[in-house]
Each structure stands twice: as C-alpha cells, then as structure tokens.
Amino acid sequence: MLRIEDLHVYYGGIHALKGINLTVAQSQIVALIGANGAGKSTTLNSICGIVRVESGTIEFLGKNITNVPSHHIVSMGLSQVPEGRKVFPAMTVNENLLMGAYSRRDRAGVREDLERVFALFPRLKERRNQTAGTLSGGEQQMLAIGRGLMSRPKLLLLDEPSMGLAPLLVQEIFRIIKEINGQGTTILLVEQNANMALSIADYGYVLETGKTVIQGPARDLAQNEDVRAAYLGG
Amino acid sequence: MSRVVASLLLCAVCILLALLRKYRTHVVSNPALKYSYYPALILLAALGINYLLTALGANKVYTFQQAVYGLSLGSVYALIALGYTMVYGIIRLINFAHGDIYMVGAYAGYYAVTVMHLPFVPALVIAMVASSVLGVLIERIAYKPLRNSPRITLLITAIGMSLLLENVGQKLFTSTPRTYPTIFKASYEVFGVSVDQSRIIIFAVTVLLMIGLQYFVNYTKPGMAMRALSQDRDAARLMGINVDRVISVTFAVGSALAGAAGILVGIVYPQIKPTMGIMPGLKAFVAAVIGGIGIIPGAMLGGMIIGVSENFVTAYISSSWRDAIAFGLLILILLVKPSGLLGKSVREKV
Ligand SMILES: Nc1ncnc2c1ncn2[C@@H]1O[C@H](COP(=O)(O)OP(=O)(O)OP(=O)(O)O)[C@@H](O)[C@H]1O
Ligand SMILES: [Mg+2]
C-alpha cells in the first residue's frame, strides 16, 4: 500500500533522513520506533507533503506521491494525526471534526462518519460544542484521531498518540487504534512507547539517526536483543 | 456632583459586566437570563449615560447626534480594520498597503458613480470588486514570493507597496481632490434629532457586511479553512487545505471590505484624494489592535470605539485632538491589556 525507498530529507544543512526504506501492506498495523530525533515525524511529514523530499520515492497505492503538495494527499486516502495533537484550539469539537473532512464533498457520508467517530469516542460527543482548547490532553488526542478519521483514510499515520497520557488512557487509545484497524484502516504508527506499539503491530521498523536499521515482524522485534536493550528498557 | 459619580459608576459596572468572561458564562448558563443579558446591559448603560448627561446638563439631542455620527465614522474604521486583522491572523503581516486599497475602492466607487452613472449598490459592488482584485494581486506579486522570508522583509515590502500605490494614485488620479456627488440627500427625524440618510446608510451597509462576514467565517468551508489556518498552519495543511488559496481568499475578502469603506466614506466625507488612505489606515490598524489583532469581532468593536470617541472629542473638546485620541487609546490599551479588548492571553496545552 505504501512503499518508501531510500528517502533523504534535509532541513537546511541538517541531513535528517539518510535513507528510509519502509513498506506498509494493506490492512496491517506497522510500528515505527526510534529515539528522539531519529526522524520519525520527519518521515510522516514527508509522506504528507509537509516537508520537501530531496531524493528517494514514496509510492502510495501504486502512485508516486513524492513531493506532491499536501493538499492533494488527503483526498488520495492518506491522513496524519500529528505529534502533539495540533487540534484547532478556538474551534469546537464539531468544527475540528468537520475540518478533518475538508477534502470531501459527500455531505451524507461526512455525517455518517461523524457518528462513527462519536461512537468510537463518546466523550467527544458530550463535548461537541466545546472549544478544543478547553479539552483535556487525552480528549484532545481522541479529537485528533477522530479528525484524522473524518477524511475516511485508507492509510492513517499516527504520530505518538500516547504522548503525555496516563497509563490507563494509553491502553484505551491503543485499544481504539486496534479497533480502527479492525474496521479496515491500515495504520502506520510512530511511537516512543515501543512495548505497546509492538504489542498491537504486525510489523515493525526501528529508526536510528535517519535510517531504518532493523525491521521484522513485531513479535520478533519485541524479542530482539538490540531492540530490547535500546527501546524496551532491557 | 454625586449624580455624576453615581452615573459614572453605573457605566463602569456595565462595562465590567460586558467584559467579565467568568461572570458571563455563569449568567449565560441560566436560561432565563441568557436572552436578556445583552439587552439588559445595553439598557442599563443607556440609563447610566442618560443620567450622566442630565447631571452634566448636556444637550442630549446634540450628544445623540454625535453618537450616530461617531458610529458611522466608526463603521468605516471597522471595515478597514477587519482587513488588517484577517490578514494578520493568517500570515502575521501588518499589511501597510491596506489603507491604500481602501483609497482605490473610494476612487473605483467615484468613477462608477460619476463616469458610469451607476446607482449606489452597483457602485458599491464595483468598489468592492476593484479593491478585492487589487488586494489579491498585491499578495500574489509582492507577498507570496516572500512566504518563507523573515517577517521584517514582508513588513518592509508592505510599506513599499503602500508608497507605490500612493504614488501611482497621484499619477493616475492626480493629487487634486475629487468630490463625490451627493447620493443620499434626505435626512430623518429620530427622537427629535435630525440624522442624515447617508449616515444611516453607512451604518446599515456596515452591519449587513459584518453579518455576512460572520456567516462566511463561521459557516462556510473557505471561512472555516481561514480560521483553521490562522490557528495552526501545519495542521491545516494536513487537513488538505490549500494554504495559498486560503490566503488569496483572505486578501480578497479583507480588501473588498476596505473597498466598501472607500465608497461609504465618499458619501459622507465627499473629498477623496490619493493620500486619503494613510490616516484612516493607521487608525483602523489601531482599532484592530485595540480590539485584539487577529480577532474579527475585536476589529468591529475597536473601529466603533475609535469612531465614536473621535467624534466626541471633536464635538466637545477640539478637532485638533481628533487624531490624538486614537493613539491615546492605543497607548492605554497596550498598558492595560496588550492582547486587546477581546484578546486572550495565549495559553497552550501540552
Ligand atoms: N523544522 C525543522 N528544522 C530543522 N531541523 C528539524 C526540523 N524538524 C526536525 N528537525 C531535525 O530533524 C531531526 C529529526 O526530527 P524528527 O522530528 O523527525 O524526530 P522524531 O524521531 O520525530 O523525534 P521525537 O521522538 O522527539 O518526536 C532532528 O534532529 C531534528 O532536530
Ligand atoms: Mg516526532
């Protein structure tokens, strides 16, 4: 579904991605783990056309989407839930979700998906007319995920959805990610919480200073000595 | 004397009630009070002012007339201020050329009325379209190539653009002031006060445009995209919003409002000239800051406050203080509430 080959990205003089190779197959959950500054967010942002790709190719559903402007990406069926949620703070929950459906024209389908998101996150339904800036961190994360789903993506990119959440809520979020995947959405999951990520993923990649260094089925990665030492706390 | 103090206190209470967010949400949660809150507040304020005027022995008819004049002048400032605030909200640029876009609107309206002999409404539309096109062109030609440059570069470009427009204006329209023909001659009696029709037209058109703008910003897709973009640019891009297009729309709408202000000012203060945009432009910018820059209702409020206070200062103190009051208010607000009347201090959640 998604294929990235030898991806290089620079921020000015900084060589942030030095050859990413990654494949996501249909209906899988693929985890992308790595230390701070390894280039996980940069990878997601280059897929979405937010940062410029210097060389390499990104292919989505057989189409080359390298350096395609960001506003064409969403309607192809690809959406990202960004790091730090980035909800629109002065807009209501409802409006935030509608912004997620910005690229769509089928009003009936949008209304349907709104109900689907509210079914997934009943908390959001109760707060639909509250401005997003007044939500708790966890609720904002739910909103960000819901907003990402509103474009009805075939592939959902999630950037550290567990960041800053209490353990119970982390479990809840991961349960929902599995549920979303069960409903037919393919997922590329970036996580610091490698344990949790690998526990729900089918396949995993480890990123180190801009390169994919280890890859394999999630279960194998969770057993891998190097990975355990570096990311799973021994 | 005690009546003066009492009425001032009453007015102060009204202002406080209007500003106190906490109290307002408390009151608004009570359904019985919800719909009577603002009308009650306005009534209370009117009572206070009436009481104060009586105590001061002022001429109420004259005062009422000045208030109406102030609101019509304030309408013009508010319309211009909206463009400043919208553009600032989207690309954090103080568009110094905005006052000159207003000037071009005034001339477009002038030619529509005199050369093309059009009635008011089509002339208004022409002024708005002309300004709108100009605003979009300026953004495309001068600002867009600087999207990733430091803000100071953009600011200097805007000042240059303003000077360019003023000088091209002098060449095109000559520096001799032109006089708008009288479009609205009638005047009405309201509460025994004679009010010019033109003043009412200004105010009415402004209110209509503002209602339209509120609808656009809150309920249409491009309007919502505008708000989203002003709150978080990267997130907006992730939603599939075409940033360049939304910026163009913002310039189009903001400039159209300035164009409307241009023709509206012409029907009351009929002398127009190529440098007419400088002072109102500055004051409208001040109005935007007073209301809270980037906040649309703030620009409306700020414009009205400046218009009314300017008119009262002219009427009761001296016209030589007219321009000082706007900047005096600016200094005051920067000292007391730098984020503006409707501005919130920025808080972020992690
Ligand atoms: N806008 C930017 N300008 C310059 N350098 C950047 C920018 N964004 C990221 N970088 C650099 O690129 C590298 C990769 O950053 P990235 O955000 O992709 O890391 P990450 O793996 O997502 O880290 P984290 O787990 O902390 O989110 C870092 O060294 C970072 O400093
Ligand atoms: Mg990151």
- pLDDT at A112 (0 to 100): 95
pLDDT of amino acid B56: 78
B235 interfacial to chain A (CB closer than 8 Å): yes
Task: State the closest ligand 1 atom to the C-alpha of A51, by its place in the atom list counted from 1.
Answer: 1
Please list every protein residue whose CB sits less than 6 Å from any atom of ligand 1.
A 11, 14, 16, 34, 36-42, 83, 192
Separation of alpha carbons B196 and B194, rounded Å: 7
**Nearest CA to B154 among B89, B91, B98?**
B91
Q: Does B22 touch chain A (CB under 8 A)?
A: no
CA dist., res. B165 & res. B145, Å (int): 19
Q: What is the pLDDT of residues B289-337, one digit of tens each?
A: 999 998 898 999 999 999 999 999 998 888 888 889 999 999 999 998 8
DSSP string, B282-337: HHHHHHHHHH-TT-HHHHHHHHHHHHHHHHHHHHHT-GGGHHHHHHHHHHHHHHH-
CA distances to A8, A17, A34, A180, B84 from A14, in Å: 11, 9, 18, 36, 37
B224 touches chain A (CB under 8 A): yes
Dihedral sign, Cα of residue B190, residue B193, residue B199, residue B202 = negative
Rounded Cα distance between B278 and B139, Å, is 19
Please, what is the average pLDDT of chain B? 89
**With contacts defined as CB-CB under 8 Å, which chain B residues touch A140?**
349
Token duo for residue A139: 């609720």
Question: Hey, what amino acid is at B349?
Answer: K
Ligand 1 pocket test target in A10, A32, A40 with most atoms within 8 Å of CB: A40
Q: What pLDDT does B27 receive?
A: 56
Best of B21, B25, B29, B238 to substitute, by most chain A Cβ atoms within 10 angstroms, is B238
Helix/strand/coil for B164: helix
Q: State chain A's maximal CA–CA distance in angstroms.
A: 51
Quick one: chain B helix, strand, coil %, rounded to 5? 75, 5, 20
The reported pLDDT for the residue numbered B19 is: 67
Encoding tokens for residue A216?
A: 């394999």
Residue of A nearest to B344 (CA): A90
Residue of chain B minimizing CA distance to A71? B240
pLDDT at B28 over 60: no
pLDDT tens for residues B65-89? 888 889 999 999 999 999 999 999 9
Give whole-number Cα distances, B53 to A175, B45, B66, B302, B321, in Å: 67, 12, 13, 24, 22
Q: Which of A48, A75, A164 sits opposite B238 (nearest CB)?
A: A48
Output the CA B317–ligand 2 centroid distance in Å.
Answer: 60
**What does the pLDDT read at residue B228?**
96
- The position carrying tokens 């209110």 is B207
- Asked if the Cβ–Cβ distance from A74 to B239 is below 8 Å, we say yes
Q: Are A147 and B239 in contact (CB < 8 Å)?
A: yes
Q: Could you tell me what percent of chain A has a pLDDT over 90?
A: 90
What ipTM, to 2 d.p.? 0.93
Mutate to test the interface with B, among A50, A65, A70 (most CBs of B within 10 A): A70
Query: In chain B, what are the domain boundaries?
Result: 1-58, 69-336
B275: Cβ–Cβ under 8 A, 6 or more apart, which residues?
Answer: B103, B166, B169, B170, B175
CATH number belonging to the domain at B69-336, selected among 1.10.8, 3.90.550, 3.30.390, 1.10.3470: 1.10.3470
pLDDT tens digit string along A96-132? Answer: 999 999 999 999 999 999 999 999 999 999 999 999 9
What dihedral angle (degrees, nearest 10) is formed by the CA atoms of A148, A154, A155, A160?
A: 30
B344: pLDDT strictly greater than 90: no
CA A1 to chain centre: 15
Among the ranges given (A214-228, B109-123, B142-156, B253-267), the one the predictor scored with the smallest mean pLDDT:
A214-228
Cα B224 to ligand 1 centre (Å): 30
Q: Tell me which of A231 and B91 has the higher pLDDT.
A: B91
Region for A85 from its dihedrals, namely left if φ exceeds 0, alpha if ψ lies in -120 to 50, beta otherwise: left
pLDDT at B60: 80
SS (HEC) of B110-161: HHHHHCCCCCHHHHHHHHHHHHHHHHHHHHHHHHHHHCCCCHHHHHHHHHHH
Mean pLDDT of chain A: 94
pLDDT for res A66: 96
